[in-house]
Structure 1
Amino acid sequence: MENNTKNWLQRLKDESWEAELLVSAIAIFGTFQLFDFVNWGANIFINILNPNQYFVAYFICLFSFLAVSVLTSMFVIHFILRAYWVGLVGLNSVFPDYSIEDSAYSKIYTEKILSILPKLKDSIQKVDELCSVIFSVAFTFLFIYGYMALFVSIYLLLFNILSEFIPYYILIIPAIIIIAGAIAQTLVTLFSNLKRNKEKEKLQHLNFTLVKYMNMILYGPLYKNLLQVFMIFGSNFKKKKSLTYLMFLFLLSGSLVAVTQFSKTNIFYLADSNYQKYFDAHKTYSNYYKDSNNSDFLLAPEIQSDMIKSNVVEVFIPIFDYESSMRETVCGVYEEQKDKSKVEKHLHEAEYLKECYKKYHNIFLDGKKIEVSYLRYNNHYKTNQFGILAFIDLEGVTKGLHEIKIEKINSEEAFLKWTIPFYYNFNKIE
């Protein structure tokens, strides 16, 4: 019975390459779609979070992006290596080894070349070993980064929900404890693995305790699975150093994939507490213009074109969800009219919001503040975002280059501002 089990397991190992190739091909396509999912998450954070929490959201998106990038790069590498392995196995079935007698080259040259080349069977074994461990490492990184992103997201959600009832300095204590514990565990692990400390029982017990409980906190129900993978590599480090070092190479390749994909997302908008730097007032962006904007989420207002050929400019200004928490400082508290009908209440609230949007938005034409008319615009035609539509009358404006400056203000200052240049070329028909 035991022999049958061993034979079945060995047969499964020998034939697993077919399944691995199929999974890799499907996974390569699937994981590239996950980049859009992470960008969607970044857009959600931009919309709902107060800007002073953007930096936390940036790390959540960064962890998620690295998880997807490492997974994608490893699937691509695995597919290439496994295809190479199949080629080597096929070649080995026809030519079991190198031949000096049948070589097309001279004996001296052939012997010298063969002295620097690995044995064909050794290459097959090494490539097979590498392919076999890539899956475990790829999903390990996915679990690490993915769980950390999920953990921090839940913590951030609870922080925002409970901050209305509990002082923020109390809510931040768990985060401080976790960060301090992670730093302490890293330092103790490094110190305990020094050669002179490996036989110190109390220090090793402390290291074990910190690793166990910090992994339970950081990785939750996955901590035993992740520790198992770490220990398989760690306990076989001296025997298979090359495989362990290659894992770091794969992590680097994942980072390079992340760099190439980062520019296609809005994650950088979350990276700096001074997020206003994302739009330089001295630069022009295609996202400002409806006829050239390819964005799936508006971070800035949008006018119809960089060349205006009518005597009215339409400006769509996105209204982010987090702005609702700032309105009271500018517009005052909304007082619901309890004695009115449902329809009247709705109209009263709509009028309040319309006036409120007007109060905390300033629009300037060529540096001069102007009064404009606004419409509440439920859904942007492309991004489905809520916003307001402003109409700027250009009657009397001369032909040439002009600029529109838009500000969102709170009780203290403008917390968002953009400068949108355009060329006015309206030919009035008499």
Structure 2
Amino acid sequence: MENGPDTERKQEELTWLENLQRNSWEPEVIISGITLAFLFVFPAKIYEFCAYINQEIGVGYLFSLLLVFYLTAIISVFKIFFVVHLCLRFFWTGLLGLSYAFPEGVINEKLFKMAQNYNYQKPEKMVLRMEKICSMTFAFPLSLVITVLVVTLYLGLLVSLYVWFDLTYLTVYLIFMTSILILSLGQLSKKRSKLKTWYSQTIISSIGAIYQSNLGKWFAVFYSFFIFILAFPIISSDVKDFSLFANERNLNEFELEWPSKNQIFQDQHDPSKRFSRVFIPSEEIDEDFLKIGIARFEGDRKILEDMNSKYQTSIDTLNWHQLKETADLHRIYIDDSLVAVKNWKKFRMPETDQRIYQGIVDISSFKDGVHQVRVEKILLIYGFTDNEPELRYRENWSKFSFIKK
């Protein structure tokens, strides 16, 4: 008699769980749809965030590039996961309808003679099998979520330490690789530890163990690799033109030959996105004055201070003007003629709050037609192993054409 209530409660719990399992497709489809809608918007936010920390915080292009690739890769992989899941659910729905329309399945006697002597699957078996595949596909990303979250937070901590303490790239790299090595050795070690015991009891570890023991040890590895291959074109598309935010380098040959108009002409630019380098109001100018805007990089502030204290002789050798603002690190040519920008004004763009310098160039003496703008820049490159700077001159930091009417 004492075991009666416990037995009934356990039976009720099992019945409740079975009902949830049978109806799991409903929350799966809803969650996949909502998550996909969010994931397709998020890459643009990642792109802008990485451009922001590069320009406004001074994290530097290398770290910004690693972050944009890492975060975009994670988002793209999850996109593929949920797209595959919805496609499988679409197939499952078709099988479900087929099992309702033809519950008996194949009637062998009514087939062509060549197809009669075979055993065909019953509709309900196909539905149940596809149901398991769909649920398995939906649950797989759970094994990655917390791991990705922990790694992301750790990378954010490293970037913060790099900015706050002005560390070298080598120092941050060594910290990251040392921590990965320690973690890897700990996982590969056969010695039982309290940390391993605790981790084995977590949801993430249990999910991974379920997949390994039921589908094969290498299934998760190859499946994840396959999804990443499928996601690679999406990653490439989402990080397109991020190289323009590399303050330290010239434009490459492709960027010089095929410039991005949306990064040069303000009337063709999305106002919710940041400018990468130099921009003007439009491709066609019908005034005697040309407004030129230059994106401000926080890292230039340190460069300006070091240049004025250590590299005055080198600046004089290049016949460069006096350096008062970070905008003075730039020199502007139109049709290979040096033009003067007397006063750079500081502004913030309305939607992105991006800090820019804006100057006015007198073009009244230029004839109507196509003219080429070329912007040079001097800066300092800080070493990977130390923070000792080296002066660099960038002849084609920005280059584009406009039409004077």
Secondary structure, in 3 states, of the residue corresponding to 1:281?
A: helix
1:278 and 1:139 map into 2 onto residues whose CA distance is 43
Per the alignment, residue 201 of structure 1 pairs with: none
Per the alignment, residue 406 of structure 1 pairs with: 375
2:115 and 2:177 map into 1 onto residues whose CA distance is 64
Given candidates 51, 66, 75, the residue that maps to 2:73 is 66
- Report if aligned partners of 2:104, 2:123 keep a CA contact under 8 Å in 1: yes
Change in Cα spacing, 1:59 to 1:254, as seen in structure 2 (3 Å) is same
Given candidates 292, 296, 318, the residue that maps to 1:315 is 292
Per the alignment, residue 280 of structure 1 pairs with: 255
1:271 and 1:235 map into 2 onto residues whose CA distance is 46
Q: Is residue 98 of structure 1 aligned with residue 105 of structure 2?
A: yes
Structure 1 residues 7-46: Cα deviation after superposition (integer angstroms, max 9, x where no partner): 2211110111112122222222122122122112221232
1:406 and 1:414 map into 2 onto residues whose CA distance is 11
Q: Is residue 41 of structure 1 aligned with residue 49 of structure 2?
A: yes
1:358 and 1:28 map into 2 onto residues whose CA distance is 42
Secondary structure, in 3 states, of the residue corresponding to 1:388?
A: strand
Q: Is residue 175 of structure 1 aligned with residue 150 of structure 2?
A: no
- Report if aligned partners of 2:247, 2:297 keep a CA contact under 8 Å in 1: no
Tell me how far 1:86 sits from its aligned partner: 3.0
Structure 1 residues 33-83: Cα deviation after superposition (integer angstroms, max 9, x where no partner): 2212211222123214657x4333322222211221122222222222223
Counting only pairs closer than 5 Å after superposition, residues 186-335 of structure 1 correspond to structure 2 as 205=190, 212=196, 224-238=202-216, 248-263=225-240, 267-269=242-244, 274=249, 276-277=251-252, 280-286=255-261, 287-294=263-270, 296-331=273-308
Tell me how far 1:358 sits from its aligned partner: 5.3
Change in Cα spacing, 1:297 to 1:312, as seen in structure 2 (3 Å) is same
Change in Cα spacing, 1:386 to 1:306, as seen in structure 2 (3 Å) is same
Counting only pairs closer than 5 Å after superposition, residues 7-156 of structure 1 correspond to structure 2 as 7-48=15-56, 50=58, 53-100=60-107, 103=110, 105-106=111-112, 108-111=113-116, 118-156=121-159
1:413 and 1:273 map into 2 onto residues whose CA distance is 8
Question: Partner letter of residue 277 of structure 1?
Answer: N
2:327 and 2:245 map into 1 onto residues whose CA distance is 27
- Report if aligned partners of 2:77, 2:228 keep a CA contact under 8 Å in 1: yes
Question: Partner letter of residue 54 of structure 2?
Answer: I
2:249 and 2:143 map into 1 onto residues whose CA distance is 34
2:84 and 2:403 map into 1 onto residues whose CA distance is 50
Structure 1 residues 252-290: Cα deviation after superposition (integer angstroms, max 9, x where no partner): 333343344343xx5455799857439733443302112
- Report if aligned partners of 1:68, 1:142 keep a CA contact under 8 Å in 2: no
Per the alignment, residue 163 of structure 2 pairs with: 160
Unmatched 5+ stretches in structure 2: 1-8, 311-321, 381-390
Secondary structure, in 3 states, of the residue corresponding to 1:205?
A: coil
Secondary structure, in 3 states, of the residue corresponding to 1:410?
A: strand
Unmatched 5+ stretches in structure 1: 190-203, 217-221, 334-352, 426-430
Structure 1 residues 97-156: Cα deviation after superposition (integer angstroms, max 9, x where no partner): 3232573x42x14426x55x6443332222111211223222333433343233112111
- Report if aligned partners of 2:256, 2:399 keep a CA contact under 8 Å in 1: yes
- Report if aligned partners of 1:66, 1:145 keep a CA contact under 8 Å in 2: no
1:372 and 1:35 map into 2 onto residues whose CA distance is 37
Question: Partner letter of residue 254 of structure 1?
Answer: A
Tell me how far 1:328 sits from its aligned partner: 0.8
- Report if aligned partners of 1:313, 1:392 keep a CA contact under 8 Å in 2: yes
1:306 and 1:132 map into 2 onto residues whose CA distance is 53
After superposition, the CA RMSD in angstroms is: 3.7
Question: Partner letter of residue 116 of structure 2?
Answer: E
- Report if aligned partners of 1:398, 1:424 keep a CA contact under 8 Å in 2: yes
Q: Is residue 418 of structure 1 aligned with residue 392 of structure 2?
A: no
2:52 and 2:141 map into 1 onto residues whose CA distance is 27
2:101 and 2:355 map into 1 onto residues whose CA distance is 66
Tell me how far 1:304 sits from its aligned partner: 2.1
Tell me how far 1:88 sits from its aligned partner: 1.8
1:66 and 1:133 map into 2 onto residues whose CA distance is 22
Tell me how far 1:316 sits from its aligned partner: 0.8
Structure 1 residues 139-189: Cα deviation after superposition (integer angstroms, max 9, x where no partner): 33343334323311211111221237xx87666542231244467679xx5
Change in Cα spacing, 1:260 to 1:72, as seen in structure 2 (3 Å) is same
The total of aligned residue pairs comes to: 373
Change in Cα spacing, 1:185 to 1:328, as seen in structure 2 (3 Å) is same
Change in Cα spacing, 1:423 to 1:35, as seen in structure 2 (3 Å) is same
1:11 and 1:376 map into 2 onto residues whose CA distance is 67
Question: Partner letter of residue 13 of structure 1?
Answer: Q
Q: TM-score, normalised by structure 1?
A: 0.74
2:33 and 2:124 map into 1 onto residues whose CA distance is 26
Change in Cα spacing, 1:422 to 1:271, as seen in structure 2 (3 Å) is closer
Given candidates 340, 363, 369, the residue that maps to 1:394 is 363
Change in Cα spacing, 1:298 to 1:181, as seen in structure 2 (3 Å) is same
2:11 and 2:327 map into 1 onto residues whose CA distance is 80
Change in Cα spacing, 1:74 to 1:243, as seen in structure 2 (3 Å) is same
Question: Partner letter of residue 178 of structure 1?
Answer: S
Deviates more, 1:170-179 or 1:54-63: 170-179
Change in Cα spacing, 1:393 to 1:125, as seen in structure 2 (3 Å) is same
Tell me how far 1:242 sits from its aligned partner: 7.6
